[in-house]
Chains A and B, each alone.
Chain A
């Protein structure tokens, strides 16, 4: 039980990233893989500042700014230089590896002796229950803000940009500026996942972001499949399903581990899961 609960909290922490990927992939239809870099960037900034005894209230905005800068960079490369979004993401992600290594100063920082966001609550007896509530509150806040933003005039303009660029321009919206903003927001959300996971796992590692975009992608695909299946149109409910997708994804990995799969195969399992999520519906469609 503890084991699955812990997977659930991890899923919650990673659901911020899933929301980010939902924005780029589903709203803007841009394949952004800056994620691997901005996730670690968020975790690295958090670790360094936490060990320097910075308060969380200051670490959160710094982490968000770091993520935003990564997204803006990818956005600028993509829109100004007209470079394919996938390549723009790879360029920034690769560059960020060195940035992250320099931020960290070494390949990993343990966070055992510091006060993390997950120690902030002590209502329940079991630490895991407190951690669950911290995760729920934090993600509730993030998704609430995001849902609000997507319902505003600005949010509608954002959603229109990925939907019909010709219309957006004709209605006075600068699609390039929108895309850069969207990538910034997405990578802020991803960096916040790094912020949470670093504290939840009590360490930041330079390699923790490798392949993490696939975890987010899988989460969004699960959530999106459910959204389409149930025909959900209300945006905040859609966000909830995306977060649910992230939790489900971690649960699937937890089940695989509990069945005795060697943890060294975790990335392979992740890739196979995502392949299955993408591939099975296509195989079924072909049969029809």
Chain B
């Protein structure tokens, strides 16, 4: 599904503050894999995610998605394969637009945004039904601006928005880092359900080792821009939480 070969990313090349965020990373992520990425700050997790999303281009190396070379394809064009939830709850939604308008755009992620009015009663009903599934009581607030909701509500809705249009890949960049524990739990449960229901290939960055231990079927530990550990489903299921803590000591 996703294939990274010899990916290197250097920021500020040739300057005093040169940083090698990724160094010769080779990674193959198969369809339906739920990869959890852990690592200390600056280990290259977010850069890796950005390079897969197309928000940044690698200094060296190549990326393929579905066997198609996409190394220089910009983010807005790669979005036909992938949906993304940002660390900042503000990142994935437009705060001044209504919930409904946000969902409308999400429903058009892979297609053109035409000069036609797409929000009709049928669309409203389908969004209402979807949102009702979250059980947050938001289904009656469709015309409220997204910005009036809490961070947890917004992250849950962003997740749900990723299912409004066809998607293969879900990128979760610390989606619960800005949330209180209860909201974080709700968002992770919603994510788990969506990933299973739609069989999404997922990349999930987290600093919460409990979540890293609990979710996913592959675990990658990054250290200084390299893949230090790569555990498959079996190895991951045998891994003890305590062992993971020891990686970070």
A interface with B by C-beta (< 8 Å):
148-149, 151-157, 159-160, 163-164, 166-175, 233
Contacts and interface: CB of A to CB of B under 8 A. Distances in A.
Interface residues of B, number: 38
B114 A169 contact: no
Given A156-B101, A159-B97, A172-B109, A164 B90 contact: yes
A153 B94 contact: no
Contacts of B84: 170
B225 interface: no
B118 A159 contact: no
Contacts of B101: 156, 159-160
A170 B75 contact: yes
27 contacts: A149-B115, A151-B117, A153-B114, A153-B116, A153-B117, A154-B114, A154-B115, A156-B104, A156-B105, A159-B94, A159-B96, A159-B97, A164-B91, A164-B93, A166-B91, A167-B93, A167-B94, A168-B94, A169-B76, A169-B79, A170-B79, A172-B76, A172-B108, A172-B109, A172-B110, A174-B74, A174-B76
Nearest to B98: A233
B94 A163 contact: yes
Nearest to A166: B91
Residue in A155, A166, A169, A172 with the greatest tally of chain B CB atoms within 10 Å: A172
B75 A164 contact: no
Contacts of A156: 97, 101, 104-105, 113
Interface in B99-128: 101-102, 104-106, 108-111, 113-119
B95 to A, nearest CB: 6
B218 to A, nearest CB: 23
B92 A170 contact: yes
Given A159-B101, A172-B77, A152 B94 contact: no
A167 B93 CA distance: 6
A166 B55 CA distance: 9
Contact of B55 (A167, A169, A171): A169
B76 A168 contact: yes
Contacts of A233: 98, 143, 145
A166 B79 CA distance: 12
A160 B97 CA distance: 7
Contact of B118 (A153, A167, A168, A169): A153
Contacts, number: 95
A163 B76 contact: no
B108 A153 contact: yes
Nearest to A160: B94
Given A153-B118, A173-B76, A163 B55 contact: no
B130 interface: no
B42 to A, nearest CB: 21
B114 A171 contact: no
Interface in B138-187: 143, 145
Given A157-B113, A159-B97, A163-B97, A171 B91 contact: no
B245 to A, nearest CB: 32
B213 interface: no
Contacts of A163: 94-97
A204 B125 CA distance: 53
Residue in A148, A152, A155, A171 with the greatest tally of chain B CB atoms within 10 Å: A171
Nearest to B93: A167
A160 B76 contact: no
A115 B18 CA distance: 67
Which 8 residue pairs of A and B lie closest in terms of their CB atoms, listed nearest first?
A163-B94, A157-B113, A172-B79, A160-B94, A153-B113, A153-B118, A164-B94, A170-B84
A170 to B, nearest CB: 5
Given A156-B104, A164-B93, A169-B76, 20 more contacts: A152-B113, A152-B116, A153-B118, A156-B105, A156-B113, A157-B108, A159-B96, A160-B94, A163-B94, A164-B91, A164-B94, A164-B95, A166-B91, A166-B92, A167-B105, A169-B55, A170-B83, A171-B109, A172-B109, A173-B76
A38 to B, nearest CB: 23
B6 interface: no
A171 B115 contact: no
A167 B115 CA distance: 20
B153 to A, nearest CB: 16
Contacts of B98: 233
Contacts of B74: 169, 174
A152 B117 contact: yes
A171 B105 contact: yes
Contacts of A153: 104-105, 108, 113-118
B230 to A, nearest CB: 27
Given A156-B101, A159-B97, A160-B97, A173 B113 contact: yes
Nearest to B171: A170
Residue in B95, B96, B98, B143 with the greatest tally of chain A CB atoms within 10 Å: B96
